[in-house]
Homo-oligomer: A and B are copies of this chain.
C-alpha cells in the first residue's frame, strides 16, 4: 500500500494520542463499514490511514504521526487539507506541526529562484524588494512617481501592499499601465529589469481573467493573498499557460491558522510546505527581526522548505538597513529582502532608502 503523506499532529498533555491518532487515521479516510460492503473490502482498506508513530516531547506534548494514502486526494492542497484536518480540525485541541509530501506531490514553481534571477539578470546576490506606501489612496500616477524614484535608484522588485485591491481610486490595470511605462524606461536607460508584483483580486474567475489581462498588458509579476482567496486559485494560476510571470504569495491571514499554540497548523506547514507544493514562485513571511512575534526556528524551516523546491523566500517586516549584516549572515544569498518602511520612510526619500540597501548588499 502506497502511503506517502505523513502528518505530525501535536496534542497537549491529557489527550490520549493513541485514540486521537485512530480517530484521524480512520475517521478522516474511509471510516468504518459493515458486511454490506464486503465486495469493496479491498478498495476501502486501501484508503485507510495508519498511525505510524507516537512520541512525547519534553513539554509532555504527544506527537502522533499518521500516514495517509496519496490515492485519497487529488495531488493538490485543498483536498489534502480536507483530509488531514477537515472535520477533525473542529474536534478539540491539536495542531498540525509537520506535513511530509512526496517530491512529486502538487506543483513546482514555473520560475522560482532560478527563473526570477534569470529575468532580473542577477545571478547571485540577495534581491531587494520595496512596497508601495501608503497602502491605500494613491493614484496610478502616484505609483508611477514612486516607482520612478526607487527603480532608477537600483531596486530589483516592488509590490503592491496586500490590502490594495482593485479600487476606483487606482484601478489595477491603470496602476500597471502607469508603472509599466516607468519599467520600460528603466530598461532602456539602464539595461536593468525591475519586477512589479501586481495584487490580483476578485472572485475566482474574475481574478484569473484579471491575471491574464495584466500579463498581456505587461505585468511581469503577480501578488496573491492565497489564504484569503484560496489555494485552488493559486494552483489555477500557477498552471495557466498564459501566466508566465512569477507569482508572489503574501501571508495575510496566516495568523488565523497558525498563531495559536494548540490549534490550527504550524507557520512552517502553511507558509513553507503547502506554498512550496502549491506552485508559488516566491513566498513572503514575517522575519523574526520585525515587530511580529515570529519564532526563528519556524522561520528557518520556512526558508529551507521553500528553497528545497526552488521557491524564493521573502522575509518581510522589520528589514531595515541596520540589521543587513545580520540578515546576510542568517540568510545567505538566495533571498529577497522585502523592506517596506525601511525604504519608503528613509529621511532623504525612497531613492536614498534603496541606495542604502544596495550599497550594503551589492558591495557586501
A residues near B, CB below 8 A?
28-34, 36-37, 40, 43-47, 71-74, 76-79, 81-83, 85-93, 133-139, 142, 161-163, 165-167, 169, 201-208, 225, 228-233, 235-236, 239-240, 250-260, 262-265, 286, 291-294, 317, 345, 349
- What would be 6 A-B contacts, judged by CB atoms less than 8 Å apart? A78-B229, A79-B201, A81-B252, A82-B253, A85-B256, A86-B252
Given A203-B235, A232-B204, A30:B136 Cβ within 8 A: yes
Contacts of A208 in B (CB 8 A): 204-205
Task: Contact check, B82 vs A228: say whether CB atoms are below 8 A apart.
Answer: yes
Task: Contact check, A136 vs B47: say whether CB atoms are below 8 A apart.
Answer: yes
Extra contacts, 6 of them, besides A37-B137, A73-B165, A77-B228 (Cβ < 8 A), are A30-B134, A79-B163, A83-B163, A90-B293, A91-B291, A205-B236
Give CA–CA (A254, B71) in the complex, Å. 24
> Closest approach, in angstroms, between the C-beta of A328 and any C-beta of chain B?
24
Task: Contact check, A44 vs B228: say whether CB atoms are below 8 A apart.
Answer: no
Give CA–CA (A22, B302) in the complex, Å. 30
Task: Contact check, A229 vs B228: say whether CB atoms are below 8 A apart.
Answer: no
Give CA–CA (A34, B71) in the complex, Å. 56
Given A263-B263, A264-B257, A292-B91, A204:B228 Cβ within 8 A: no
Give CA–CA (A260, B34) in the complex, Å. 36
Task: Contact check, B76 vs A203: say whether CB atoms are below 8 A apart.
Answer: yes
Task: Contact check, B47 vs A137: say whether CB atoms are below 8 A apart.
Answer: yes
Task: Contact check, A204 vs B204: say whether CB atoms are below 8 A apart.
Answer: yes
Contacts of A85 in B (CB 8 A): 253, 255-256
Task: Contact check, A162 vs B203: say whether CB atoms are below 8 A apart.
Answer: no
Task: Contact check, B206 vs A134: say whether CB atoms are below 8 A apart.
Answer: no
Contacts of A225 in B (CB 8 A): 78, 82, 86
Contacts of A82 in B (CB 8 A): 162-163, 165, 225, 228, 252-253
> Closest approach, in angstroms, between the C-beta of A220 and any C-beta of chain B?
22
Contacts of A291 in B (CB 8 A): 91
> Closest approach, in angstroms, between the C-beta of A43 and any C-beta of chain B?
4
Task: Contact check, B257 vs A166: say whether CB atoms are below 8 A apart.
Answer: no
Chain B residue with the shortest CB-CB distance to A33: B134
Give CA–CA (A228, B227) in the complex, Å. 9
Chain B residue with the shortest CB-CB distance to A79: B165
